Amino acid sequence: MGLLLLLGALQACTGGIKLGYNNGVDLAAWWLDGHIDFTKAQSQQVRSDLRQLQLHNRQQDLPDYAQTLRQTQTLVTNDVSAEQVCAVGSSVRGYINALLEDVEPAATTLVQSLTPAQITYLERKYAKTNAEYRSDWLALTPTDLVQKRFDKALERAEMVYGRMDTAQKTLIRQQVEQSRFDPQQVQAERLRRQTDTLQTLRQLQRDSATAADTRTAVRGVLERSMRSPQPGYRAYAEALALQDCQSIALVHNSTTPKQRETAVRWLAGYERSLRELAAQR
């Protein structure tokens, strides 16, 4: 449940630039309602909590996000190392961890208001998204999986750098082919998180848990969602993250000065939008 509210808060706080951000509360509330099927009172409370989260994010966090984008603009004008790429990723994880702490009180309030029927509704939603994941990823042949991931990687690269040449496309495909990404591992962790969430919610209801106990339980689910208790998955995720940093560095270092200028303009546009949003009250 905590992870659901975190994702909803991310929609409200970082769900698109400018127009998307300013409509983030409505988008997040709609997304959450699709998982829980809110009562009118719950909907009002969640919207109020999301507005407070967005206000805090706008005033306290957006300037930090913008500063990270400013620093990244300087970074991308030169060749980069995998360590430098991972450092940017570490900054982003730090922002997510801070958001987790901000989400805890609202998640606690929501969890305390849930009914058994709503937990069952969430369970059915999980089953639906799991079926979609199986269709989208697990049903693919190895060749189709590589092609799908290559298409997505190329789309992201060209969004940042502009059109990539043949040699760069070949490099991106090679990185995808060598990737440790395993959709089976991802699905296993998804199922673990879902089971953890559902078991925690039902246990809290059986125990008629206090607000303090509920918040502790919510914090536990959030922490386990960010850092899996499964050693095998943690090792997989850490190895994949390092490999991704290496791949990003290789592709970036293949870019031309013109492509890097395009990347700087792309980052600067996002930085400018974040600073404008932070200035709104």
Residues 211 and 108: beta-carbon distance below 8 Å: yes
pTM over 0.95: no
Alpha-carbon span 109 to 204, nearest angstrom: 13
pLDDT tens track, the chain, 281 positions: 444 444 444 444 444 566 678 888 998 899 999 999 999 999 999 999 999 999 999 999 999 999 999 999 999 999 999 999 999 999 989 998 998 899 999 999 999 999 999 999 999 999 999 999 999 999 999 999 999 999 999 999 999 999 999 999 999 999 999 999 999 999 999 999 999 999 999 999 999 999 999 999 999 999 999 999 999 999 999 999 999 999 999 999 999 999 999 999 999 998 999 999 999 86
Q: What is the DSSP string of 107-140?
A: HHHHHHH--HHHHHHHHHHHHHHHHHHIIIIITS
Nearest alpha carbon to residue 3 among 230, 239, 238, 227: 227
Question: In sequence order, what are the residues at sequence separation of 6 or more whose Cβ sits closer than 8 angstroms to the Cβ of residue 50?
Answer: 8, 9, 12, 24, 25, 28, 29, 106
Question: Residue type at 31?
Answer: W
Alpha-carbon span 164 to 159, nearest angstrom: 10
State the pLDDT at residue 3: 41
Q: What is the 3-state secondary structure (H, E, C) of 135-186?
A: HHHHCCCHHHHHHHHHHHHHHHHHHHHCCCCHHHHHHHHHHHHHCCCCHHHH
DSSP state of 81: -
Q: What is the phi-psi region of residue 159: left when phi exceeds 0, alpha when psi lies from -120 to 50, beta otherwise? A: alpha
